[in-house]
């Protein structure tokens, strides 16, 4: 089940509901109820009778358990890994800083347990907290290690270089857009490095 929080307080614990009624009250698709929620443990009152009815108390209890499973007890400098379903630490103690178009800051890292990408948004004033616990680098230096022992570079510079090579393969000069991208990348890198120097 995803991260969506369902308004199960709308349900009466002593009332039975069919999938259509739950869809209306909880804003969830009927197929999610019949298939996904069933796989995760929600059972109808009588599986042999149609339409399937779900006891209100059972649905509320099921959704509460799902909520608890998604909660992680983390320190301010911890990350939450959705694959591991627990708080985790960045691999090798390294986190990567980026700034979004809206001005917000995001820290990304590789989960030390499952090697998947983990991330969290942080306030500018809180970046210093992470710099005390981890080594902070620009996002363009980040590498994701897959379970097949291969790795993939995530930084834009790598993509830009690939595009440039393809352009030369086709005996064409780099386009004006490619030059613009290169300048933008350089500007972002300079800005992030300036932010890191503040801490």
Cβ-in-10-Å burial (0-12, 13-18, 19+) of 11 comes to: buried
User: Taking residues 10-34, what's their average pLDDT?
Assistant: 92
Summarize the confidence of residues 25-31 as an average pLDDT: 90
pLDDT at residue 196 above 70? no
Q: State the DSSP code for 49.
A: S
pLDDT of residue 21: 94
Q: What three-state secondary structure class fits 18?
A: strand
Average pLDDT over residues 61-81: 77
Asked whether residue 40 carries a pLDDT value surpassing 70, the answer given is yes
DSSP H or E segment with residue 79? strand 79-81
Q: What is the pLDDT of residues 78-113, one digit of tens each?
A: 888 878 878 888 999 999 999 888 888 999 999 988
Q: What is the pLDDT of residues 162-188, one digit of tens each?
A: 444 554 455 555 555 555 455 555 665
Contact 29, 37 (CB under 8 A): no
Taking a C-beta distance cutoff of 8 angstroms, is the pair 42, 59 a contact? yes
Question: For 125-165, what is each residue's pLDDT tens digit?
Answer: 888 888 888 999 988 777 654 444 444 444 434 444 444 45
pLDDT band at 121 (very low <50, low <70, confident <90, very high): confident
Contacts of 59 (CB under 8 A, 6+ apart): 8, 11, 17, 22, 42
- What's the pLDDT score for residue 162? 45
CA dist 117 and 135 (Å) reads 16
pLDDT of residue 188: 53
Structure tokens at 61: 């209890």
With a cut of 90, say whether residue 18 has pLDDT above it.
yes
* Fold assignment, 8-70: Arc Repressor Mutant, subunit A (1.10.10)
Average pLDDT over residues 23-32: 91
User: For the chain, what are the domain ranges?
Assistant: 8-70, 79-197
Which SS3 state, helix, strand or coil, does residue 130 take? helix
DSSP 4: P
DSSP-derived 3-state class of residue 171: coil
Residue 25 has pLDDT above 90, yes or no: yes
192 and 139 Cβ atoms separated by less than 8 Å: yes
| Phi and psi, residue 65, nearest 5° | -65, -40
Counted residue by residue, the chain has a size of 199
pTM of structure: 0.42
Which is more confident, 74 or 181? 74
């Amino acid at each position: 089940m995803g991260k969506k929080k369902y308004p199960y307080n709308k349900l009466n614990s002593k009332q039975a509901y069919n999938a259509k009624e739950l869809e209306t009250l909880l804003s969830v698709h009927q197929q999610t109820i019949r298939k996904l929620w069933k796989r995760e443990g929600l059972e109808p009152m009588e599986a042999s009778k149609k339409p399937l009815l779900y006891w209100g108390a059972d649905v509320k209890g099921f959704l509460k358990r799902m909520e608890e499973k998604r909660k992680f007890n983390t320190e301010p400098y911890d990350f939450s890994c959705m694959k591991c379903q627990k708080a985790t630490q960045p691999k090798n103690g390294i986190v990567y800083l980026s700034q979004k178009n809206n001005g917000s800051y995001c820290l990304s890292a590789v989960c030390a347990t499952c090697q998947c990408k983990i991330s969290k948004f942080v306030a500018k004033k809180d970046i210093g907290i992470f710099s005390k616990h981890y080594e902070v680098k620009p996002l363009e230096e980040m590498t994701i290690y897959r379970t097949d022992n291969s790795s993939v570079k995530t930084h834009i510079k790598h993509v830009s270089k690939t595009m440039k090579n393809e352009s030369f393969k086709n005996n064409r000069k780099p386009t004006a857009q490619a030059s613009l991208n290169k300048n933008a990348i350089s500007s972002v890198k300079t800005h992030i490095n300036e932010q890191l120097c503040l801490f």
